[in-house]
Amino acid sequence: MRPAAAAPRPTSPVPPAPLPRLDVTALRAALSDLAHPEATGAQLRVTGSAGRWYGTSGVADRASGRPISEHDTFRIGSITKVFVATVVLQLAAEHRLVLDAPVQRYLPGLLPPAFPPISITQLLNHTSGLPDESRDGRPDLSTPEGIARHRYDKWTPEQLVSLISHGPMKFTPGSKQEYRGVNYVLLTLLIERLTGRRYGEVIASRILDPLGMRRTSLPGKGPRIHGPHVHGYMRMTDGSLLDITTYEQTSAWGEGEMISTTGDLDRFQTALFSGTLLPRPVLEHMFTLPDGVRMVDGSPARYGAGLQTVTMNGITLWGKTGERYGYASFMMATRDQQRRAVLTFNPTHRDATQVQMTLRVGEALTKS
């Protein structure tokens, strides 16, 4: 059996920038602004050796006016990808797959034969170059009404993969970086092929159960969130707000369908960064950006194998953002875990305005 790919050589250790004292006033102000972007609620959990704080604003349910509780669940969107990446890297550490090997070796016949070899690492760090999704057979989600009309559509992972099977590669695999959800659909199919189990069962047995993440789940084919949860809303064309909480999640299969709490995500991030879930040499893949590669728009690469990175006020954070209709979130920390943060909020528009809350909270977390 071939060994797993060698871990990237870590750079010389650089002393972390000293963290500013936690500014609770700034955090409270950042979280309380539910007009930029328009949102119905927000909550933030800050932990780590450099300070702790938890706060909320808005409501969990507009119909009842119930305030948000720290035990309320919410849709975490693409933070799901960190769980998938963790399992893939665990399988690599167990020599059940080779990270430099093409995914076509493990999933023969799934991608068109004309496609070039695409390595597992290139899927993990979004350098695959896979074609854009075909619009044929794809519902029109350009309006709030279209989104609402198709909220109960069901998809299979094979249908999702088929959408990228009818066009030329966007770039040579490994030469550029472009964030694509379909990369993780393929990785999740890989998990199922290698383990012979549904990927949700694999994530539960390898991560959720050992860490005691009892409020974290995958909805599977069910559109509802069970138990106490935060509702998501969408502003319609006529100005009304639609409760969009109940939504079939198979369109985000394998890359954005999990449900969790701020406390559970903090527990997961702590275990991941501490080396509890992955051997240190394999964990290093998550914190390694592809060498000499830039995003397709020319900006610097920002995705490792499952994690993304951002530097604000001289402080580098690693983690992941996520969004679904009515929900947006991030899970971020410094590598030394002096500061960890889990933010979730409920924007009424899924568009570029969402970044206002994310940047405002990030600024408050890192400013001197």
Quick check: is 78 catalytic?
A: yes
Residue bearing tokens 């896979």: 130
DSSP of 256-312: S-EEE-HHHHHHHHHHHHTTSSS-HHHHGGGG-PPTT-BBTTSSBP-B-SS-EEEEE
Residue bearing tokens 């499952």: 306
CB-based contact 330:357 (threshold 8 Å)? no
CB-based contact 152:215 (threshold 8 Å)? no
Q: Catalytic one among 32, 69, 78, 128?
A: 78
CB-based contact 127:293 (threshold 8 Å)? yes
Q: Can you tell me the distance from the alpha carbon of 260 to that of 258, in angstroms, rounded to the nearest whole number?
A: 7
Q: Can you tell me the distance from the alpha carbon of 285 to that of 318, in angstroms, rounded to the nearest whole number?
A: 13
Three-state DSSP state, 161: helix
Dihedral angle over CA of 157, 266, 308, 233, nearest 10: 60
Does a cis peptide bond (omega within 30 degrees of 0) precede residue 37? yes
Dihedral angle over CA of 178, 180, 182, 188, nearest 10: 100
Closest C-alpha among 327, 164, 151, 167 to residue 251: 151
Closest C-alpha among 257, 329, 312, 259 to residue 39: 329
How far CA 74 is from CA of 78, 219, 246, 287, 323, in Å, comes to 12, 11, 11, 27, 10
Q: Can you tell me the distance from the alpha carbon of 251 to that of 288, in angstroms, rounded to the nearest whole number?
A: 29
Residues belonging to the active site: 78
